[in-house]
Amino acid sequence: MNVLLCPFSDPGYLYPSIAVGLELRRRGADVHVLGRAGAAPVLAEAGLPFLDAEEYGAGRAFEVGVARWAWETPGQFTAVRQAARDVRADVLVTSVLCHGALLAAEALDLPVAVIGLAAHLWDYAAAGGPEPERPVLRAWRTRDMLRFYDQGRDQVGLPARSREGANPLVGTALLLRGDPALEYPGAVLPAGVHHVGPCAWEPAADAVALDRIREHLDRVGKPVVYVHLGRVFGGTSPWPRLNATFTGGPCQAVVELGRSKESRPDPRADVLVVGKPWMGPLLDRAVLTLSSGTSAPVLNALQRGRPLGLSPDGSEQPLLAAACVRAGVASYVPNDLTRDPVKVLTAILRDAGMRDRAAALARRLAAVDGPGRAADIVYGMARCPAARSA
């Protein structure tokens, strides 16, 4: 079986795809990865063949951006279609928001698996009760994503889609990386949506850099909180709260800049700012994770049984944060100074019930072979004639 992985090249999208790709290769598949040039070193470490999207005329089409991802569908479509032909792909594996890959799969009559986030973002097939409104509503998100998808169809010259039938954003199969506990109680997932569990992979930590970080943390001597910054969608900067939380408080912080480019630590604060392509060894040291509620830090923390303090802003953050709070493994942290930030942090650290629930969820996640489940589905798609025509 020939597989083309064509996710976005940002770590939160690329790394889970690599995990699935490595499992597919272990089972005998011929796997290639299409992405932007900056992903080449990571894929070389993973040992997966790399196809440079720029050589297929895609430019920055596989780079997630706040204001650009929805406009890159034509470039994605052209690159994926040609790369799939070059490697004689039997199946495509992409990520959510990569509409060009979905449309290329349709044009080539190929099945496509979509690697999703930690929880389902769009409309449920049925819900067990009235889900409380969030700043990002499922119905609004579904309509908005379908609007961009339909716009992409027009841009690449495909006919208008039928308004009946399954959500095309699901592809042939949508693979959620979380746990049913993160879905709304009683909700029914749409056809083709599956929980596969975490698909964890990341580059090996640089030993010298990691030793320096550990030496710094040992020198400060306080319990470590891992902070992973996400994009701020018109909201307020998290730095005033972070500086207040870790100046003279009971803990120190390792702040991963992540998608944020803003670094404003107070020199008096026990804050170490890093920008690393790995987070596992730092989470292993931490007692708590603070995040905006994106999938990568949430899942990495939960796999280690770490409770979460969440300050959601835009995109999928409010929905994932609500899921974690509802599951009892996280607490909201206001992204301002209206409440004493040290008291907020201390309350989470002292919540034994939250730690127990996080540990229980970690055991469930550890019992799941995410890449294996995903590979089972991908193989089933490629071998089943009905799936090819779905």
Report the SS3 class of residue 114. Answer: strand
235 and 187 in a common domain: no
380 in the same domain as 291 = no
Q: Can you give the length of the chain in residues?
A: 390
| Cβ-contact 185, 133 below 8 angstroms | no
251 and 182, same structural domain? no
96 within domain boundaries: yes
Within 10 Å of residue 380's Cβ, how many Cβ atoms? Answer: 15
- Claim to verify: residue 66 and residue 133 sit in the same structural domain: yes
Asked, for residue 222, whether it belongs to a domain, the answer is yes
Give 209-225 pLDDT, tens digit per residue.
999 999 999 999 999 99
- Among 33-42, 57-66, 275-284, the minimum mean pLDDT is found in 57-66
CA-to-CA distance for 173 and 116, rounded, in angstroms?
10
pLDDT for residue 25 is more than 50: yes
Residues 49 and 133 grouped into a single domain: yes
The answer to whether residue 117 is domain-embedded is yes
Instruction: Determine the pLDDT at residue 389.
Output: 33
Q: Is the same domain home to 145 and 179?
A: yes
pTM above threshold 0.85: yes
* Whether residues 107 and 44 fall in one domain: yes
Pair 368, 199: CB distance under 8 Å? no
pLDDT digits (tens, 9 = 90+) for 151-205: 999 999 999 998 777 899 999 999 999 999 999 998 999 999 999 999 999 999 9
Highest mean pLDDT among 65-74, 254-263, 301-310: 301-310
Over residues 312-329, the pLDDT tens digits come to 987 788 889 999 999 999
Together in a domain, 167 and 283: no
CA-nearest of 54, 106, 100 to 78 is 100
| Residues 173 and 100 placed together within one structural domain of the fold | yes
Among 63, 29, 8, 108, CA closest to 371: 29
Q: Minimal CA–CA distance to 76: which of 89, 90, 64, 88?
A: 64
CA-to-CA distance for 368 and 303, rounded, in angstroms?
11
In a domain, 390, yes or no: no
In a domain, 104, yes or no: yes
DSSP structural state of residue 168: G
Kindly state whether residues 167 and 238 are assigned to the same domain.
Answer: no
What is the DSSP-derived secondary structure letter of residue 315? T
For 171, the domain range is 2-198+368-385
Q: Is residue 14 part of a domain?
A: yes
CATH of the domain at 230: 3.40.50.2000
Say yes or no: 341 and 254 in one domain.
Answer: yes
237-255 per-position pLDDT tens digit:
899 999 999 999 999 999 9
What is the side-by-side strand order in the sheet with 112-115? 50-52, 30-35, 2-5, 91-95, 112-115, 173-176, 193-195
What is the total count of domains within the chain? 2
Of 284 and 234, more confident: 284
Q: Are 119 and 194 in contact (CB under 8 A)?
A: no
Q: What is the reported pLDDT for 64?
A: 75
Q: What is the pLDDT of residue 233?
A: 59
